Amino acid sequence: MKRSMVRPTAGAAAVMLLALTAACSSSGSSSSASGGSTTTGGSTSGKSYKMSFIQGVQGDGFYVTMGCGIQAEAKKIGNITVNIQGPSQFDATLQNPIIQSVTAAHPDAILIAPNDVSASRPPIAAAMAAGIKVVLVDTTLSDPSGAVSQISSDNLAGGGFAFKALQQLVPGGGEVLVVNTKPGISTTDQRTQGFADAVKADPKFKYVGVQYNQDSASIAAQVTLAALQKNPGIVGIFATNLFGAEGAATGVRQAGKSGKVKIVGFDAGPDQITAVEQGTVQALIAQHPYDIGTNAVDQAYAALTGKQTDPKIGTKFTIITKANLNSAASQAAIYKTGC
Ligand code: T6T
């Protein structure tokens, strides 16, 4: 089985961040990933397998890119059919019925980014009880027991990297804010925690807390603007995902502080890259969702064919700034809008 990803060590990651250079790249694929699509792998002799990928939310370049990795890996293995669907919003009340209907269709494996650490557990546990192999991709559960594997970035460390980037951008220190999605999403909660812990260890900086945006760029813009009006001393913002970074850049612009208040965002869709080019966002911590996808298929396939599986797999980051934006590694890390 292919095992291309390694868990980044703290030391290696710190060096990567301090240099603010790209650390590695992910590859592309030629098929498409969107809500409700189905792709069939090339035929080989023997049994074939059905896998369903349930995205955290539709239309998010992170999950589109992950779907590209999933489809490419399924095609490479050859006897796997992949179905992709996801909720219209990052909301367990919308995702849970999808989990239930997918479970009723009884694929061999479900690859899923759970919308909530607790509320997503019952339908996922029901899928496991029905004999479906479950791989948790990106987000996880408070109780992940029974899952074949959990595959994600090291989100706690990622929050720490975001603070290191802000330290470099604002060496004199000051007040810093987090613009987060909503409580209960494992990934973005961990990024916030990692960031808050790192800020508290540097007396030059003051953590002014977290504002939630419900995974909406327009709400992120509103809460950012309001926070800047309330706390004019804010010098830096950490936006914990794609939509947060997009909205934070808008909020900072509306406050007339573009370039003055530094923004470090998680994720790297085309819009975030444009923001870096234009100088409204200073650094992006790009994840490698394509690799999460290829690993997820490998893990599910291993479980289905009686091979050894890895309970946890960590994928890498690429730190993107204006200075390294044109490097091959940065360009390869930009999320896809289609495969
Ligand atoms: O940051 C990713 C993902 O890791 C997170 O769980 C939810 O938001 C994204 O999909 C980006 O929008």
- Residue 266: the pLDDT is 98
Please say if the pLDDT value at position 37 is more than 80: no
Ligand 1 in reach of 180 Cβ (< 6 A): no
Please say if the pLDDT value at position 34 is more than 50: no
Domains 10-147+289-314 and 155-286 share a fold: yes
Whether the CB-CB separation of 181 and 188 falls below 8 Å is answered with yes
Mean pLDDT of the 275-291 span: 96
Residue 78, classed as helix, strand or coil, is coil
CATH (one of 3.40.50.2300, 3.30.830.10, 1.10.8.60, 1.10.3720.10) for 10-147+289-314: 3.40.50.2300
Q: Which amino acid is at 83?
A: N
Query: Tens digits of per-residue pLDDT, 53-112?
Result: 999 999 999 999 999 999 999 999 999 999 999 999 999 999 999 999 999 999 999 999
Q: How far is the CA of 36 from the centre of ligand 1 (A)?
A: 19
Whether the CB-CB separation of 209 and 236 falls below 8 Å is answered with no
Which of 3-17, 148-162, 277-291 has the lowest average pLDDT? 3-17
Query: Tens digits of per-residue pLDDT, 125-143?
Result: 999 999 999 999 999 999 9
pLDDT band at 46 (very low <50, low <70, confident <90, very high): confident
- Which protein residue has the closest C-alpha to ligand 1 atom 7? 241
Ligand 1 in reach of 189 Cβ (< 6 A): no
Mean pLDDT of the 280-285 span: 97
Ligand 1 in reach of 60 Cβ (< 6 A): yes
Q: Please, what is the Cα angle at 119 between 113 and 125, to 5 degrees? A: 70
Whether the CB-CB separation of 115 and 124 falls below 8 Å is answered with no
pTM: 0.89
Mean pLDDT of the chain: 89
Mean pLDDT of the 151-177 span: 98
Whether the CB-CB separation of 86 and 56 falls below 8 Å is answered with yes
pLDDT higher for 291 or 27?
Answer: 291
Q: Tell me the H-state helices in the chain.
A: 10-19, 61-77, 92-105, 121-129, 155-169, 186-200, 217-230, 242-254, 270-278, 289-304, 328-333
CATH (one of 3.40.50.9100, 3.40.50.2300, 3.20.130.10, 3.40.50.300) for 155-286: 3.40.50.2300
Q: Please, what is the Cα angle at 58 between 57 and 62, to 5 degrees? A: 75
pLDDT band at 36 (very low <50, low <70, confident <90, very high): low
Please say if the pLDDT value at position 256 is more than 80: yes
Q: Please name the residues in contact with 291: beta carbons below 8 A apart, sequence gap of 6 or more.
A: 4, 5, 26, 69, 315, 316
Ligand 1 in reach of 138 Cβ (< 6 A): yes
Mean pLDDT of the 22-35 span: 31
Q: How far is the CA of 109 from the centre of ligand 1 (A)?
A: 22
Q: How far is the CA of 110 from the centre of ligand 1 (A)?
A: 19
DSSP letters of 200-251?
A: HT-TTEEEEEEEE-TT-HHHHHHHHHHHHHH-TTEEEEEE-SHHHHHHHHHH
Q: For the chain, give every domain's residue range.
A: 10-147+289-314, 155-286
